[in-house]
Amino acid sequence: QVQLVESGGGLVQAGGSLRLSCAASGRSFSNYNMGWFRQVPGKEREFVGTINWNSGTTRYADFVKGRFTISRDDAKNTVYLQMNSLKPEDTAVYYCAARVAGGINWRYWGQGTQVTVSS
C-alpha cells in the first residue's frame, strides 16, 4: 500500500523557516516525480514545486523561487520542502504528491500538513 505522510507543519512568524517532510512508502519512487502543493480554504490547490527522484531536478512556482527548496533523501525515502523567508500568504495546508515521471496525473497524495505564518 502506497503511503505519503507529511510532517513538519506548524506555526511560525513571518520571516521564519520550516522544513516539511514527506515520507514515502509502499513502492519504489525511483521513476517518479514528487510534488508539493498547497491549498487555502475556498481556493484551488496550487503547485509549489517538484523534484525528479532519479535526477534530483527541481522546478518551482514563481512565487516560491529563491525561498523554498525541495530535496530528497534516498536512504530515508523522504522528500523535503525547506521553506525560508515565510510570509503570511504562505499559510495553507501543504500536500505531498507523486506521479510517474512524464505522466500527467498526480496518482498518490498525502493527507496534508498545516502551515500557519503569523504577521
pLDDT at 38 over 90: yes
Query: How far is residue 65 from each of residues 28, 59, 62, 96, measured CA to CA in Å?
Result: 28, 9, 5, 18
**DSSP 3-state assignment of 109?**
strand
Q: How confident is the model at residue 83 (pLDDT cuts 50, 70, 90)?
A: very high
Q: What does the pLDDT read at residue 65?
A: 83
pLDDT at 112 over 90: yes
